[in-house]
Structure 1
Amino acid sequence: MATSDRRTATLALAHALSAAERGLPVIPLSRTKLPALRSPHRGSSEPVPCRGECGLPGHGVHDATTDPAAVRALFAAAPWATGYGIACGRPPHHLIGIDLDTKSDTDATAALRHLALQHLFTIPDTVVVLTPSGGRHIWLTGPPETVVPNSVSRLAPGIDIRGAGGYLVGPGSLTTHGIYRTAPGTGHLTPAPCPSALLRLLTPPARPHTPTTRPTDHPGRGHGLVQFVLTAQEGQRNTRLFWAACRAYENGMGDSLADALTEAAVQAGLTEREARATIASAARLSTAS
C-alpha cells in the first residue's frame, strides 16, 4: 500500500474512532461512499436475509458499532477504506439525517425553509456536514420509540432523509468527489432534537395495506421486471428500479417482488439501502389515494 493510501486509511480510522467515542455507530466506507466490506453471502444463488447473525463482517450498516476494538477490526479488514459511515436510528442518539441535495433542479434549502414556515418549526443549532458537491447534511436526533424511515424526495424535491437502516457519510471522509467537512461553527455542537412538527412530517401514518398477488400468479411479468432491473447500466439503475417497482405495485405484485427487485438492484450496482428506499418511494406513489 502506498504511503498516501496508508495515511488516508489511518485518518479514516481516526475519524471513525472519534465518532464512535461520541456514541455514533460507524462502518468503513470506500471512496464511492459504499460500505467497504462486501457481503459474505454475495456468491449465494438466493438472497440471504442475514443482518450479521452469521458473525461475519460485510453486512453494511448492520456492522455499525461504537466499540473501539470492533471498529479497528472492521477497518483492518478493509484497509482500502477512505471514510466512514454513521448509522442512523441507533442508540444512544437515534440520529436523523436531513440531506439537502444541490444536484437537483430544485433548491432544497429553500424547500426546507418553506416547510419550516408552513409547519411552524425552526431547525435548531446542530451539527451540519458539508458535502463535496455543495450539499448539506443536517444532524438531528429522534426519540427512542420513534422509527424514522429513509426516504428520497418524499418530504420535498431534493430533500432525502436518512433514518433507521440508513447511514450518513462522516466528516473527514475522503470520497471520489472530495472530502466531507463539518460546517464552520457546528463541529463543537451535539446533534439537536428534531422539532416535533418536523418529526411528524418524517413519520407519516401508514396507509391501509392492500393484499398483493403472489409473483407466481404473474410469472412472466414478475420475471421480466426483475430482469429489467438486473440489466441496468450505470446512470439508469435507480430509474429502472423505480419504474419496475411502480409497475409491480400497480399490478398487485409489489410487496411480493420487493425482495427480488432489491436483489437485482444490488447486483446491478446499487446498495440495499438505496434499492429499498427507491422501492418504498414507488410503493407510496403507486398506492397514493
Structure 2
Amino acid sequence: MAIIDRQTATLALAHALSAAERGLPVFPLSANKLPALRSPHHDETPPTRCRGACGLPGHGVHDATTHPAAVRALFAAAPRATGYGIACGRPPHRLIGIDLDIDPTHGNDSVAALQQLALQHLFTIPATVTVITPSGGRHLWLTGPSGVAVPNSASRLAPGIDVRGAGGYLVGPGSVTTHGSYRLAPGTAHLPTAACPRTLLRLLTPPKRSHHATDSHSRTGQGRGLVQFVLAAHEGQRNTRLFWAACRAYEHGFGDALADALTDAAVRTGLSEQEARAAIASAARLTTERP
C-alpha cells in the first residue's frame, strides 16, 4: 500500500507540472488510479452528464489542463493525490497510449503480440517514450494526426493490448499507486513522442460497421469463430482467450447474444461457469465504458 504523505503529493504535483510544460494536459489521480477529485454532481438525481461545462473541478479527464496555475489549483483541491493522469487525444500531441499488459500467469505476452502484429501488417514499432507500470507492463506513447479520433479499447488488437485514445487517459510517470510507481523506461526519457505508424493507426480506428440486413449473417459467422477460438484454448490461455473473444463480441454489438455460447465453450475447456461468467462480465464493462 502506497503511503500518502506530503512528499508524495508534492512530487505528484511537480511531475504533473513538468508534463504540462511539455504540452500534455494533466489532472490529479488518487492511489487507485482514479480521478482524485469527487464529482460536484455525485449526489444529483437524475445523474448529470456534465463534462466540465459547469466550470467546477471534479470531472476526471475533462479537468485536464496544461496551464500551470490551473494544475496547481486542481492539486490544491486534491491534497491526497499521489499521481496524475495525462489526457489522450488532445492537441497538440494527440497522445495515443498503447498499454501492453504483462500477465505471465495466464501466458499473456502482449509485447510479442504487438511484434507479431507489426510483422503481419508490415509496420515498424518506433522508438518512443515508454513508461514502465508497477506490474512490469509498458505504456508506449504515440502521437496521432489531427482530425482522427482513436477510440479506447480493451484487448481488441490482441489479448493484453489496451488502447487509450480520445476521452481516455494514461497514468503519468512519477505517479505512485497502491501497487507501486510508474517510471520512464531507461533510454526513453529524452526521446520525442513518435508518430503512430499509418498502418497501426488504421488498425486502431476500424471503420464503422454498416447495419444492413446482411450484417446478421456476418455476425453469426464471426460469433462461431469466436466460440471456436475459445474452444481451442490450452491450459494457461483459457481466461485470456475467453476475455478477448467476449471483448470482440461486445464491441460488435452481439456480446449478450453470444454470452451463453462463450460460457459453454469456456466450461468445455476446463473453466468453471462462475469463472467464465465473471470474465465475460468484465469484458462487457470494459468495452462499454464511456468517459
Return the TM-score normalized by structure 2.
Answer: 0.73
CA, structure 1 residues 280+31, in 2 after alignment: closer, same or farther (shift >3 Å)? Answer: closer
Residue 41 of structure 1 is matched in structure 2 by 41
For residues 152-206 of structure 1, give each alpha carbon's deviation from its aligned partner in whole angstroms, at most 9, with x where no partner exists: 0001000000000000000000000111000000001121000001000000000
AA matched with 1:114:
Q
Residue 114 of structure 1 is matched in structure 2 by 116
Please, which of 272, 279, 284 is the counterpart of residue 288 of structure 2? 279
Residue 52 of structure 1 is matched in structure 2 by 52
Residue 83 of structure 1 is matched in structure 2 by 83
Contact persistence 1:150–1:161 (CA under 8 A): yes
AA matched with 1:134:
G
Residue 14 of structure 1 is matched in structure 2 by 14
Rounded to whole Å, the distance in 1 between the matches of 2:114 and 2:20 is 29
Root-mean-square deviation (CA), in Å?
2.6
Residue 234 of structure 1 is matched in structure 2 by none
Rounded to whole Å, the distance in 1 between the matches of 2:92 and 2:285 is 25
For structure 1, list consecutive stretches of 5 or more residues without a partner in the other structure: 212-238, 254-273, 282-289
Contact persistence 1:20–1:67 (CA under 8 A): yes
Secondary structure, aligned partner of 2:6: helix
Deviates more, 1:201-210 or 1:169-178: 201-210
Rounded to whole Å, the distance in 2 between the matches of 1:102 and 1:170 is 18
CA, structure 1 residues 93+276, in 2 after alignment: closer, same or farther (shift >3 Å)? Answer: farther
Rounded to whole Å, the distance in 2 between the matches of 1:33 and 1:251 is 28
For residues 9-50 of structure 1, give each alpha carbon's deviation from its aligned partner in whole angstroms, at most 9, with x where no partner exists: 000000000000000000100000001011111111222111
Contact persistence 1:130–1:181 (CA under 8 A): yes
Secondary structure, aligned partner of 2:112: helix
Contact persistence 1:86–1:167 (CA under 8 A): yes
Residue 24 of structure 1 is matched in structure 2 by 24
CA, structure 1 residues 199+250, in 2 after alignment: closer, same or farther (shift >3 Å)? Answer: closer
AA matched with 2:91:
P
Please, which of 115, 124, 127 is the counterpart of residue 125 of structure 1? 127
Rounded to whole Å, the distance in 1 between the matches of 2:162 and 2:284 is 14
CA, structure 1 residues 280+81, in 2 after alignment: closer, same or farther (shift >3 Å)? Answer: closer
Secondary structure, aligned partner of 1:86: strand
Secondary structure, aligned partner of 2:7: helix
Rounded to whole Å, the distance in 2 between the matches of 1:49 and 1:280 is 14
Contact persistence 2:39–2:58 (CA under 8 A): yes
Rounded to whole Å, the distance in 1 between the matches of 2:109 and 2:7 is 37
Rounded to whole Å, the distance in 2 between the matches of 1:193 and 1:85 is 21
AA matched with 1:74:
L
Contact persistence 2:102–2:109 (CA under 8 A): yes
Contact persistence 1:12–1:81 (CA under 8 A): yes
Contact persistence 1:150–1:277 (CA under 8 A): no
Contact persistence 2:4–2:82 (CA under 8 A): no
Kindly, what percent of the aligned residue pairs are identical?
72
AA matched with 1:59:
H
For residues 82-109 of structure 1, give each alpha carbon's deviation from its aligned partner in whole angstroms, at most 9, with x where no partner exists: 0000000000000000000013532100
For structure 2, list consecutive stretches of 5 or more residues without a partner in the other structure: 214-242, 258-282
CA, structure 1 residues 101+50, in 2 after alignment: closer, same or farther (shift >3 Å)? Answer: same
CA, structure 1 residues 275+20, in 2 after alignment: closer, same or farther (shift >3 Å)? Answer: farther
Residue 179 of structure 1 is matched in structure 2 by 181
Residue 199 of structure 1 is matched in structure 2 by 201
CA, structure 1 residues 4+44, in 2 after alignment: closer, same or farther (shift >3 Å)? Answer: closer
Contact persistence 1:82–1:175 (CA under 8 A): yes
Secondary structure, aligned partner of 1:146: coil
Structure 1 residue ranges, 4+ long, deviating more than 6 angstroms after superposition? none
Secondary structure, aligned partner of 1:85: strand
Residue 266 of structure 1 is matched in structure 2 by none
For residues 37-73 of structure 1, give each alpha carbon's deviation from its aligned partner in whole angstroms, at most 9, with x where no partner exists: 1111111122211100001101000000000000000
Secondary structure, aligned partner of 1:155: coil
Please, which of 153, 156, 166 is the counterpart of residue 155 of structure 2? 153
